[in-house]
Structure formats: C-alpha cells, structure tokens
Amino acid sequence: MPWKHSLLVALACAAFAFSAPLRANDYPNRPIRLIVPFPPGGINDIVGRIVATHLGERLGKPVVVDNRGGAGGLIGYELAANAPKDGYTLLITSIASALNPWLHKVPYDPANSFAPVAILVSAPITIVVNPDLPAKSIKELVALARQKPGDLTYASSGVGTSLHLAGELFRTTAGVDLLHVAFRGAGPALIDVAGGHSKILFGTTTTTLPMIRSGKVRVIGIGDAKRSPALPDVPTVAEAGVPGYEAGNWIGVVAPAGTPPEIVERLHREISAMQDSPDVQKQFANEGADVVKMTSGGFGVFMKDELAKWGRVIKTANIKAE
C-alpha cells in the first residue's frame, strides 16, 4: 500500500538523520589504532606516542601506537588507506607523504586516500656547517659557494630524503653549485659534518639541536617563514638573503578517506585542545618540534601544496630513488 511505502521511507530518513549524531556521540567506544609508518625511536614515533597518550586521555579510550615501518613508510600508508573508515584507525603522516609519490610507485592515491584530521608540529630545516668553514652567515655561504662552484659538499640522510631535497631546494633557490654526499641516516650525515669531511647539512631541528648547543656544528639559518623558538637568534634563510626558501619536516594525523566528517571534527577538536596544553607543548619542544595549528581543511590544502612543491624540486633536480 502507498501509505506503507511512505512510512518506510519516513522511518529510513529518520534513522539516517539520527545515525550520524549518535555515531559521533558514541565515538569512541573501543581503543583506536594509531599507525606510525616508521620504526620505533624516530621523531614520527616520538610524536605519535605523545599524541596517543594525551589524545587517549581526552577521548577516554586508549590510543594504541602500531609501528608499521618499511619501504620508506609505504607499508604503513597502504595499511591505513585500506583500513575501515570508522575512525578507529588513524595514521601519523609527515613530509614523506609529499615525497614518496614522486620517487616510488605508491599503493594508494596520495591525493584522495586520506582525510586530513590535524597538523601537529613542524621541525624547520636548520642549515648547519662545520665550525672551521669560513662562512658565518647565509650570505657568506652563498658567496663561498659561488667562488668554488662544486667544491662545497653537503651531507644528507640519503638520496630522495627530505634532507637531500632541502639541500637541492637551497641550491636552486640560491643559485649555487653544491656537491651532494648521501649517508644512511641523518645521524651519520651530521657526524660527518661535525668531523669536517662534508661541510654543510640541511637538517631538521629535531636532529641538529644537540650538536648546535654543544658547538660541534654552527647554525647559520632557519628554513622557515619565521624564526624557531628553539633558536630565536638565528635568522631565517629568507631574512639572511635567500628569499623564497622554506623547508622542514611536518607531522600530522590523517584518517582513511570516507571517515565520517563528524568523527574527523571530533578528533580535530580534541587534538587542537591537546596542543594548547603547556605540558604537550613542552614535550614537543624538547624534541625540537614546534606546535602548528590549522583547520582540517587548511591541513588538506597544505598537504596538496607540499605534494606539488616537492614534486617540482624532484623533477628539476632529476632525483631518482635508489
């Protein structure tokens, strides 16, 4: 009968109308998995564990870190992209998400597989040099490099890594010819610069701060739009004479695309409140990372811009993954 059909339609619409709020209000009702696509011990893992502790406290349910390292992060990204879209699987993302699609065949859609939740922190590039190098500023480094094209070496954590690309961006932005020396990791690269073999390192604050403070390397510039709170007396590269140079690592949280927007909004709200905690800010600062806040939509635009920016650098420098 027509009236029965109308009743069924009305009931279905009512159920749909109430399902989303109820789902959001009931969330979470079990532990949440936070995938970190790198092994334990690195900055992504450290940030992930800080977030897991404090977000879990705010949500009233455990947030459990699940380290899924391997293939430069691709294993963890693929796992998160294919996870249920219910808010119970989240992913720690970083600048790696803007690099891997240009260097590898990735098993997910970099532009559409994830829903942005919140950016967490940034760790700007510090340009550090061996203390014996006769360059005490960015201007002096550029002048020295132009006097000796191809002679000055910069170390990195490996071909195609964010530190390598930060060096390539400086090389093209400043118009200088530097020789790249790749190492297996940022630690060995920094040690090489401190020892005077390579002369320059484009390294994040999370890596370089201890050696800067001990005087084993000299910092001459910050690769950010503003000065770092950890190094307030060090000018940005743009301030120091190379406008347009910005590079650094950033870390955020995403969910599988299709996760209900009301759950994404809840997570964003709780993370934003967590970031306002002086205790959380101190924990991040101790790792050389600065808290960054954006809307979820703003974070999505930022990630797309980063993908395009580093794609241009990789293509211009003709970088191929090893």
Q: Where in the sequence is the domain holding 93, given as residue range(s)?
A: 31-122+249-317
pLDDT interval class at 320 (50, 70, 90): confident
Say yes or no to pLDDT of 10 above 50: no
What's the rounded Cα separation, in Å, for the pair 110 and 96?
11
Tell me whether residue 239 is in a domain. no
Is 151 within the bounds of a domain? yes
Give 288's Cβ-side CA count (13 Å radius): 22
pLDDT surpassing 70 at residue 15:
no
In a domain, 59, yes or no: yes
Per the domain annotation, does 62 fall within a domain?
A: yes
Q: Kindly tell me if the per-residue pLDDT of 11 is higher than 80.
A: no
The predicted model gives 231-238 an average pLDDT of 93
State how far the alpha carbon of 3 is from the alpha carbons of 13, 143, 186, 229, in Å.
15, 84, 70, 67
CB 89 within 8 A of CB 95: no
Residues 313 and 293 in one domain: yes
- φ/ψ (deg, to 5) at 292: -130, 140
236 belongs to a structural domain: no
The span from the CA of 210 to the CA of 288, in Å, is 10
Q: What is the CATH number of the domain that holds 167?
A: 3.40.190.10
State the Cα–Cα distance between residues 218 and 215, nearest whole angstrom: 7
β-pair partners for 212 = none
Mean pLDDT of all residues belonging to the chain: 90
Are 156 and 172 in the same domain?
yes
The domain boundary, picked from 223, 257, 279, lies at: 223
Q: Which residue matches tokens 């360059």?
A: 135
* 254 and 292 both lie in a single domain: yes
pLDDT tens readout for residues 25-50: 789 999 999 999 999 988 899 999 99
Answer yes or no: is 309 within a domain: yes
* Total count of domains within the chain: 2
CB 260 within 8 A of CB 84: no
Same structural domain, 261 and 306? yes
CATH number of the CATH domain containing 74: 3.40.190.150
Report pLDDT digits (tens) over 206-217: 889 899 999 999
Residues 131 and 104 in one domain: no
Residues 131 and 185 in one domain: yes
**Are 200 and 148 in the same domain?**
yes
pLDDT in tens, 240-297: 989 999 998 999 999 999 999 999 999 999 999 999 999 999 999 988 899 999 999 9
Does 114 lie in the same domain as 145? Answer: no
Residues 186 and 212 in one domain: yes
pLDDT at 189 over 80: yes
Same domain flag for 191 and 203: yes
Express each pLDDT in 81-116 by its tens digit: 999 999 999 999 999 999 999 999 999 999 999 999
* Same domain, residue pair 118 and 253: yes
